[in-house]
């Protein structure tokens, strides 16, 4: 069994306005995941004290990490990270295609292979745009042959992150055509809402899977600390390898 957690950490700035990578790490520890997918991570940004948040969180969790900046301004970076104690190798990290007329935030994705105890798992981490017209080309790119639609991709795979989309949306339906959402009525607990953290009512963060995997549990980590540490709550799922 492998436990995966996806978490938009909001640059480690909580709903109380306080900056604390340590608090983010403490929230993650509460769920004891094997693999952690993070979005909105600051590295070397003046606004968050120049900290390498990917390093700070990974160090607190005693995990290795790969970080990819979706946005870079000189020495300041902002993007996504994957953390684990398991053997991990980075396959690809890069930008997702933006719409032709675009003034928003650039988005990216990461692909790693994680192994341990006789298994090999491909894991993708991403953070999509806010609006459907931004998401359309990003999802086409993400599901295409350069990323999750790679014809060479075989075996179990996880596609996770902050998709900024909810069930019944066109983006959700496009992904659901080829991937299974881990958060289903059974065995998932609760409604799966991850945003906003203090009074969550939107399912924006998702874990999708493909291949010989089975979900044994899925839940939103909604402890008092989690409601304070970021504007999103972590989504967690347990996966078993089926054969």
What per-residue confidence (pLDDT) applies to 188? 64
What per-residue confidence (pLDDT) applies to 185? 62
CB 124 within 8 A of CB 160: yes
What per-residue confidence (pLDDT) applies to 44? 97
What per-residue confidence (pLDDT) applies to 97? 92
What are 98-115's pLDDT values in tens digits? 887 776 789 999 999 999
Q: What is the mean pLDDT of residues 181-202?
A: 86
What per-residue confidence (pLDDT) applies to 184? 79
Cα 143 to Cα 23, 71, 113, 148, 202: the distances in Å are 34, 21, 17, 5, 23
Cα 115 to the chain's mean position, in Å? Answer: 18
Q: What is the mean pLDDT of residues 215-221?
A: 96
Compute the residue count for the chain.
243
What per-residue confidence (pLDDT) applies to 242? 85
Q: What architecture is domain 2-241? A: 4-Layer Sandwich (3.60)
CB 114 within 8 A of CB 35: yes
Percent of the chain whose pLDDT exceeds 90: 87
Q: What is the mean pLDDT of residues 160-164?
A: 98
Q: What is the mean pLDDT of residues 75-91?
A: 97
Rounded distance, CA 198 to CA 208, Å? 25
Domain ranges of the chain: 2-241
Q: Going by C-beta distance under 8 Å and a sequence separation of 6 or more, which residues neighbour residue 190?
A: 219, 220, 222
Q: At which residue do the structure tokens 């909810």 appear?
A: 166
The least confident of 27-41, 50-64, 70-84, 99-113 is 99-113
Cα 177 to Cα 8, 41, 173, 180: the distances in Å are 25, 30, 6, 8
What per-residue confidence (pLDDT) applies to 32? 98
Q: Going by C-beta distance under 8 Å and a sequence separation of 6 or more, which residues neighbour residue 181?
A: 167, 172, 175, 206, 207, 208
What per-residue confidence (pLDDT) applies to 149? 96
Q: What is the mean pLDDT of residues 157-177?
A: 96
Across the chain, what does the average pLDDT equal?
A: 94
Pairing of strands 2-8, 35-43: parallel
**In the predicted structure, residue 75 carries a pLDDT above the cut 80:** yes
pTM: 0.96
CB 3 within 8 A of CB 35: yes
- What are residue 88's DSSP bridge partners? 114
What per-residue confidence (pLDDT) applies to 103? 65
């Amino acid at each position: 069994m492998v436990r995966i957690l996806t978490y938009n950490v909001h640059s480690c700035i909580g709903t109380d306005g306080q900056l604390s990578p340590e608090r983010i790490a403490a929230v993650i520890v509460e769920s004891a995941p094997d693999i952690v997918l993070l979005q909105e991570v600051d590295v070397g940004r003046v606004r968050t004290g120049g900290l390498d948040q990917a390093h700070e969180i990974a160090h607190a969790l005693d995990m290795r990490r790969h970080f990819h900046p979706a946005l870079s301004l000189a020495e300041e970076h902002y993007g996504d990270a994957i953390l684990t104690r398991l053997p991990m190798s980075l396959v690809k990290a890069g930008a997702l295609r933006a719409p032709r007329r675009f003034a928003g935030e650039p988005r990216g994705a990461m692909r790693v292979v994680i192994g341990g105890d006789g298994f090999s798992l491909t894991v993708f981490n991403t953070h999509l745009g806010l609006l459907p017209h931004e998401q359309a080309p990003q999802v086409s790119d993400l599901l295409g042959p350069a990323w999750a639609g790679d014809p060479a991709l075989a075996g179990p795979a996880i596609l996770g992150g902050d998709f900024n989309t909810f069930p019944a949306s066109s983006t959700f339906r496009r992904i659901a055509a080829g991937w299974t959402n881990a958060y289903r009525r059974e065995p998932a607990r609760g409604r799966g809402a991850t945003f906003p953290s203090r009074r969550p009512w939107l399912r924006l963060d998702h874990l999708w899977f493909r291949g010989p995997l089975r979900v044994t549990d899925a839940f939103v980590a909604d402890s008092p600390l989690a409601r304070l540490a970021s504007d999103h709550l972590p989504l967690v799922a347990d996966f078993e390898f089926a054969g």
